A = this chain, B = another copy of it.
């Protein structure tokens, strides 16, 4: 049977600490939903793709815990990670006269999770929320760590808050319906944790990539757990991204430029990150920070994960301009997350000439 026992991980943030639970069948397991803040009202936030698949199951599982379980179904897609969509949540909450105890449940991928988390952070200046991530990317990355946001026409995730969920429920079974392209996008973030924190995990991913792509639950369980562990460790040490936390953005400076340059939605976030990691690895190698072979090794793995490894051709000045607008940039200086020996990452600037070389070498 392709099933695994539940595994539990504690995120240590003092009074804001919370559990991540990883396993099969968690959506329908009553235990997943007990011990959360009590409230008469709950709101399931999902989207037009995920709601038909799983909202009813969650609705039933929550009904013993709240007098009224409401639903709001958002349009699907990164293009809708914006104010009008966020406002649909506020409208639903206010129409139904939801008070400040109301618990929000984010049922969906990173887009639903980020919007719902931000809605929870802002509604009446803060209501509790629970993450129920349904994409691999959301399970290994976006649902952990308390970053929430919406996009602005001029930049991704520009408007948001640090706001922690009360619990994260990663039901591995829901990944069965995930389009393979989305699974690959999630694998990009899984791969990320190897180079920045754990060379042994990178080895493990290389050995288990086929099992992961075949949705083997034991492999997925380990990948999700180890990814969350690493992310949790980094976040616990630096909740508000003073500096250390930035290493989680390995591949993201180049990646964000790809996403913004092509227009959001053209490449998936994970696809852009996959390619961005190859570029950042290349930059690290050219700076002599990591063995010359590492970019090739990472490139092979990213490719095996079903992800693009050749960057789109954008004018070079556009690359630089986009990266200067990255949230990590300070006073116009681009800061990259680079690999400083396998298993370690640092944030630093790089000579512009070298950056141009890398862009040229990695683009179509």
Give me the interface of A with B, judged by CB distance under 8 Å: 40, 83, 87, 90-91, 94-95, 97, 99-101, 121-126, 147-149, 152, 154-155, 158-162, 240-241, 324-325, 327, 329-332
Contacts and interface: CB of A to CB of B under 8 A. Distances in A.
Contacts of A324: 97
Nearest to A125: B160
B325 A154 contact: no
A83 B87 contact: yes
A154 B83 contact: no
23 contacts: A40-B331, A90-B158, A91-B154, A94-B152, A94-B154, A95-B154, A99-B327, A99-B330, A99-B331, A100-B327, A101-B331, A122-B159, A122-B160, A122-B161, A123-B158, A124-B327, A125-B147, A125-B148, A125-B149, A125-B160, A126-B162, A126-B240, A161-B161
A159 B123 contact: yes
A241 B160 CA distance: 22
A97 B160 contact: no
Nearest to A325: B97
Nearest to A83: B83
A215 to B, nearest CB: 34
Given A121-B161, A122-B160, A125-B147, 13 more contacts: A90-B152, A94-B154, A94-B325, A95-B154, A97-B325, A99-B332, A100-B330, A124-B158, A124-B327, A125-B149, A125-B161, A125-B162, A161-B161
Nearest to A122: B159
Contact of A94 (B87, B101, B158): B158
A13 to B, nearest CB: 15
A-B pairs with the 9 shortest C-beta distances? A94-B154, A125-B160, A122-B159, A40-B331, A124-B327, A99-B330, A125-B162, A90-B152, A125-B161
Contact of A97 (B91, B148, B161, B332): B332
Which of A99, A125, A155, A240: most chain B CB closer than 10 A?
Answer: A125
Which of A123, A124, A159: most chain B CB closer than 10 A?
Answer: A159
